[in-house]
Amino acid sequence: MNIALLIIDVQKAFLNERKGSKVYHDTLMYINATASLFRKANQSVFIIRDLFEGDDETYQTVDELKRGTQDIDLIKKYSNSFNSSIFL
């Protein structure tokens, strides 16, 4: 069985107001550590961005998110990841 990590909506527009807080730091630390484990196990890491409200610089992933060379980017056009989305 294959498993994958879905990193959903870790975007500046949604998280910048918490930037600098312990919760923000801890959240990114856990996401990055988990993604690293998945990559080492040759499992897929999907980074899913929400473009429902816009597609400017603020809708890019946060700078602290460590990306791997094999990570797969997906774009969703609806705010709910699994409802009516066609992943591009």
Domain ranges of the chain: 4-76
Of all helices (H) and strands (E), which one includes residue 14?
helix 12-15
Q: Which pLDDT belongs to residue 87?
A: 56
pTM: 0.83
CA–CA distance, 19 with 35 (Å, rounded to integer):
20
The residues facing 46 across adjacent strands are 6, 72
The ranges of the chain with pLDDT < 50 are: none
Q: Which pLDDT belongs to residue 3?
A: 95
Q: Which pLDDT belongs to residue 70?
A: 96
Q: Which pLDDT belongs to residue 25?
A: 95
Q: Which pLDDT belongs to residue 32?
A: 98
Rg of the Cα atoms in the chain: 13
Q: Which pLDDT belongs to residue 52?
A: 74
**Both tokens of residue 86?**
């066609």
The fold adopted by the segment(s) 4-76 is Rossmann fold (3.40.50)
**Both tokens of residue 34?**
């988990």
